[in-house]
């Protein structure tokens, strides 16, 4: 998903991240609705009580998506994935205070390595952009908050339905559906709609193919994330995310021809190594 969004935002030079998020979430809603009416999936009937319970999660969800879009606009994929290691640290600290879940010394050592790699990566980044790093910092905080809050809200949300249950498909639809008013409001207030209707890139058929594909991919990620987080926990969720950073980072460096110095390359590799150490520490 990171690579796909990077293609849309940078390769096509599309300067409307919120509009892209809105389109992706709309695609998700339409696909789930189509599957529901086709009888392929079942969706819980929503009510205002459920919406009120879920709304805080959705606000964080929207913030997470938007900050992720903007960070990708300014930072190369490899550095985004390395900086995302900070999410693991925030999540672990959050679990300690919210769920009283303690981590072993190996995990904290791996997190310290992540901090070192993020700092050294920023210092040696030849394409350093303060705006992008600010957005990515916000994204790390929001991503950790999302996984921590979502896990707590899931059980509470079930109590707000008539059936007493809420499957992953319903959660995905609810999350994406509630994000649409936020997205529309921001697109109007920030004037993105003017850019979208006037830019030449929206007249390119391949742009819409890629953007639509990113919507389908976003739906798949949303569903699997909901299911996985429901079955495990926030830190384990972050753990799996650590393992996919290696192929994403290397692919990003190759696909987008990123200017790279030896110190920055070492920082990226060290960050990837820290992610692997973190994964092994969590499994021990």
User: Mean pLDDT score of the chain, rounded to an integer?
Assistant: 80
Could you state, in order of their start, the residue ranges of all structural domains in the chain?
Answer: 2-283
Tens-place pLDDT, residues 128-183:
788 888 999 999 999 899 888 887 888 788 888 877 777 888 888 999 999 999 99
State mean pLDDT over 103-111: 79
If one compares 30 and 121, the residue with the highest pLDDT of the two is 30
Predicted confidence at residue 1, as pLDDT, reads 58
Across the range 215-229, mean pLDDT stands at 77
Q: What is the DSSP string of the chain?
A: -HHHHHIIIIIS----HHHHHHHHHHHHHHHHHHHHHTTSS--PPP-HHHHHHHHHHHHHHHHHHHHHHHHHHHS-HHHHHHHTHHHHHHHHHHHHHHS-----HHHHHHHHHHHHHHHHHHHH-TT--HHHHHHHHHHHHHHHHHHHHHHHHHHHHHTTSSSS---HHHHHHHHHHHHHHHHHHHHHHTTHHHHHHH-GGGG-HHHHHHHHHHHHHHHHHHHHHHHHHHHS-HHHHHHHHHHTHHHHHHHHHHHTT----HHHHHHHHHHHHHHHHHHHHHH-
Query: What does the pLDDT read at residue 238?
Result: 58
Q: 32-88, pLDDT tens digit by residue?
A: 999 999 988 888 888 899 999 999 999 999 999 999 888 888 887 777 777 777 887
- Is residue 201 predicted with pLDDT exceeding 70? yes
């Amino acid at each position: 998903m990171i690579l796909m969004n990077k293609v849309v935002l940078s390769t096509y030079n599309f300067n409307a991240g919120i509009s892209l998020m809105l389109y992706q979430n709309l695609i998700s809603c339409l696909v789930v609705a189509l599957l529901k009416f086709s009888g392929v999936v079942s969706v819980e009937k929503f009510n205002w009580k459920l919406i009120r319970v879920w709304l805080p999660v959705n606000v964080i969800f929207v913030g997470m998506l938007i900050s992720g879009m903007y960070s990708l606009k300014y930072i190369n994929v490899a550095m985004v994935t390395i900086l995302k290691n900070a999410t693991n640290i925030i999540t672990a600290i959050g679990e300690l205070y919210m769920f009283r879940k303690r981590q072993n010394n190996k995990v904290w050592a791996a997190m310290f390595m992540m901090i070192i790699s993020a700092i050294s990566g920023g210092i040696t980044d030849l394409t350093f952009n303060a705006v992008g790093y600010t957005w990515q910092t916000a994204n790390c905080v929001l991503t950790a908050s999302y996984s921590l809050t979502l896990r707590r809200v899931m059980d509470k949300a079930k109590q707000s339905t008539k059936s007493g249950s809420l499957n992953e498909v319903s959660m995905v639809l609810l999350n994406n559906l509630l994000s649409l008013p936020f997205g529309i409001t921001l697109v109007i207030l920030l004037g993105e709609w003017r850019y979208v209707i006037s830019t030449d890139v929206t007249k390119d058929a391949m742009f819409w193919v890629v953007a639509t594909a990113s919507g389908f991919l976003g739906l798949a990620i949303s569903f699997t994330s909901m299911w996985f987080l429901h079955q495990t926990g926030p830190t384990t969720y972050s753990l799996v995310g650590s393992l996919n950073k290696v192929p994403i980072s290397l692919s990003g460096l190759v696909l987008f021809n990123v200017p790279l110095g030896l110190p920055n390359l070492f920082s990226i590799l060290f960050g990837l190594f820290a992610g692997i150490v973190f994964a092994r520490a969590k499994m021990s």
